[in-house]
């Protein structure tokens, strides 16, 4: 049976550091503030927003949830984001996705000030993720790597197979893995035989967003697998991208839930404190 790489301990270590830093900031008369925008209509987004709010309260971070009905206009959202960009007491802005079809996610994401974009979704931060320059990188790819390191696994010199190169997780993770000096093979919809690439991998990451993409016959006993997929079954159960029986064959695997997702939330607040540092040391952060 595989080693189950749960993230609770890793997340708690991140939160402990954050609490300490927040306390120091409060003693200096400052309190971190995160503004989150939620357009009603997606129950999962509402659940995640409330979860983040509860965590913020435990960390001593000010959290303001701006909720809009599903018929909100794009202009109204852009106006609020502009106000939050200019507000000195607001240090981070997060947009809950997905958005209703009448709203352009691309336009709205681009309107967020890069130095307040704690989820790394603006063009400037996407570029910084590629180049390694100063910026705020996406939280989930960071969580994938940090979870692996928490369990003592180095990426340097390892053969790594990445299954899924989507804009949110896979593509930024690809660039981060290269900076870790891993030899990375990226598999996508055009890859003819994913199992062949997994067979040569020391470590694999899967971020497709579809259950059972990785099956037991595709893996080997020495493989370390990080599953970043989050899918809801017809029965309402949350599962990853790897089939349940994969755990019986690999060396180690991250669970879903309780793996990458748990650590991702912690990384978001770590990004918030990084955003504060960027704002403090430069009035106008240039990432490129």
- Tens of pLDDT, residue by residue over 37-70, are 999 998 889 999 999 999 999 999 999 999 999 9
- Tens of pLDDT, residue by residue over 114-137, are 999 999 999 999 999 999 999 999
Say how far apart CA 94 and CA 49 lie, in whole Å.
10
Q: CA nearest 88: which of 234, 265, 279?
A: 279
pLDDT greater than 70 at residue 187: yes
Say how far apart CA 186 and CA 205 lie, in whole Å.
10
Band the pLDDT of 284: cuts 50, 70, 90.
Answer: very low
- Tens of pLDDT, residue by residue over 237-271, are 999 999 999 999 999 999 999 999 999 999 999 99
Q: Is residue 227 within 8 Å of 249, Cβ to Cβ?
A: no
Ordered structural domains, the chain, with CATH: 29-111 (3.40.50.10860), 137-259 (3.40.50.720)
pLDDT greater than 70 at residue 100: yes
Q: What is the mean pLDDT of residues 221-249?
A: 95
The rounded percent of the chain whose pLDDT value lies above 70 is: 97
pLDDT greater than 80 at residue 287: no
Q: Which two tokens stand for residue 10?
A: 């890793």
Q: Which two tokens stand for residue 116?
A: 């307040």
Q: CA nearest 118: which of 145, 142, 150, 98?
A: 142
Say how far apart CA 5 and CA 18 lie, in whole Å.
22
pLDDT greater than 70 at residue 165: yes
Q: Is residue 194 within 8 Å of 200, Cβ to Cβ?
A: no
Pairing mode, strands 3-4 and 92-95: unpaired
Say how far apart CA 27 and CA 66 lie, in whole Å.
28
pLDDT greater than 70 at residue 285: no
Edge to edge, what strands does the sheet with 33-39 contain?
Answer: 62-68, 33-39, 92-95
Enter the pTM of the model: 0.93
Q: What is the mean pLDDT of residues 79-100?
A: 97
Q: What is the mean pLDDT of residues 222-242?
A: 94
């Amino acid at each position: 049976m595989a080693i189950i790489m749960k993230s609770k301990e890793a997340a708690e270590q991140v939160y402990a550091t954050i609490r300490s830093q927040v306390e120091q900031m409060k003693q200096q008369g400052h309190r971190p503030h995160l503004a989150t925008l939620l357009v009603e209509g997606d129950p999962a987004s509402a659940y995640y927003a409330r979860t983040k709010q509860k965590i913020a309260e435990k960390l001593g971070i000010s959290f303001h949830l701006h909720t809009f009905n599903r018929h909100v206009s794009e202009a109204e959202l852009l106006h609020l984001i502009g106000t939050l960009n200019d507000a000195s007491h607001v240090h981070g802005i997060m947009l809950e996705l997905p958005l209703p079809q009448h709203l352009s996610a691309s336009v709205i994401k681009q309107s967020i000030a890069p130095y307040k974009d704690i989820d790394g979704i603006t063009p400037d931060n996407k570029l910084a993720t590629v180049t390694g320059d100063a910026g705020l990188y996406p939280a989930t790819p960071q969580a994938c790597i940090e979870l692996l390191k928490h369990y003592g696994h180095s990426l340097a010199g390892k053969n790594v197979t990445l299954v899924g190169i989507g804009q949110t997780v896979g593509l930024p993770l690809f660039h981060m893995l290269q900076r870790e000096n891993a030899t990375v093979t990226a598999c996508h919809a055009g890859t003819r035989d994913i199992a062949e690439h997994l067979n040569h991998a020391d470590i694999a990451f899967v971020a497709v967003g579809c259950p059972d993409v990785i099956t037991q016959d595709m893996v080997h006993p020495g493989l370390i697998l990080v599953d970043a997929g989050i899918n809801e079954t017809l029965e309402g159960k949350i599962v990853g991208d790897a089939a349940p029986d994969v755990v019986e064959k690999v060396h180690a695997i991250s669970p879903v839930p309780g793996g990458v997702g748990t650590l991702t939330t912690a990384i978001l607040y770590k990004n918030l404190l990084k955003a504060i540092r960027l704002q403090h040391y430069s009035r106008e952060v240039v990432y490129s």
